[in-house]
Chains A and B, each alone.
Chain A
Amino acid sequence: MSALPAVGPAEVTTAEFDRFREFFYRRTGIQFQPSKRYFVDKRILASILQAGAPDFRSWFAQLRLAGDDRLLQSVINSMTVNESYFFREDYQFDCLVNSVLPLLVAERRTAPIRILTLPSSTGDEAYSIAIWLLEHWPAIDQFDIEITGVDIDSQVVEFAKAGVFGERALQHVDSTLRARYFTVLGAGQYQVCAELRDAIAFTLANICEPLEMQRLRNFDVIFCRNLLIYFDELSSRRAAENLYGALRPGGYLFLGHSESMSRITPIFKPLRFPDSAAYQRPKERTR
């Protein structure tokens, strides 16, 4: 008789769920409420199977070993939400072009303008910003723009670099823009043109980790949309500190429409532009 096929446990107990979510929160700042139990359990069970662990206990021990970064990264990848599409909440791109960039360039005529998007997910937002600037900012020929995308999920960072998207992600991209910036790969797949892919840097970092975030400095504009809503108060405050550190004095921050930095920390100055609200790292120190 042959050996039984490897099968993991059939379910995750409440105690195991609690242990995992506590561990995951400490490592990523992301907290799963009990309402997310089904979502989390399903991914834990899949990871146990994939890791070849006989049960939760061995899998969890393996996960917590500092040496096994690959397992932890794959769990982070599976637990993070990567739903995104081009030109999402595009009124903020209008705000960038109509209000923020004119203010920035009025102050600095030579240095490149640096824009950070995080979480960059599969790259939709970073490419959207690039296209939006090329299409809507008349002064683009006069300035160098650097766009960087950052995400905690290594898999989506690779997706973003490849720049291949389906119809769903491109639902708000008209045929003119598709023809101008994408190559049709077939079967409803489109790849962002090489010029744009080469222009945008994508990299891995955890917004709650000071050591990882200290590499990100001197950005003029940060888009950090629909991320802080997943964080508890402490993680939000830590993320806010790291965003502050990544902005140059006077730099601007855009959050998602339902998010408010004023509820998290007083260190940013809230601003109201005609197209959107934003936050600014003050230019001067406050005493």
Chain B
Amino acid sequence: MGALQVILQLLALLPDAIQTTEKVVAIVERVKALYASGTEPTDEDWDSLNATLASLKAELDADPPLTGV
């Protein structure tokens, strides 16, 4: 695999990698805030969180298309 090909592959993955990093950093900040405040979650908070986790689980369980970089 040539150096140019490797670089092009990495460049193609960069936006997704940055987006994932931003998401994870935001989650970590939310968790810190929860531990700092001790706020009781409401039913809506639980519903929203469970919907998010269900959506992520569906994405993890789905097989992406075989075509890649």
* Chain B associates with chain A: no
**A residues engaging B (CB < 8 A)?**
none
- Interfacial residues, chain B to chain A (CB-CB below 8 A): none
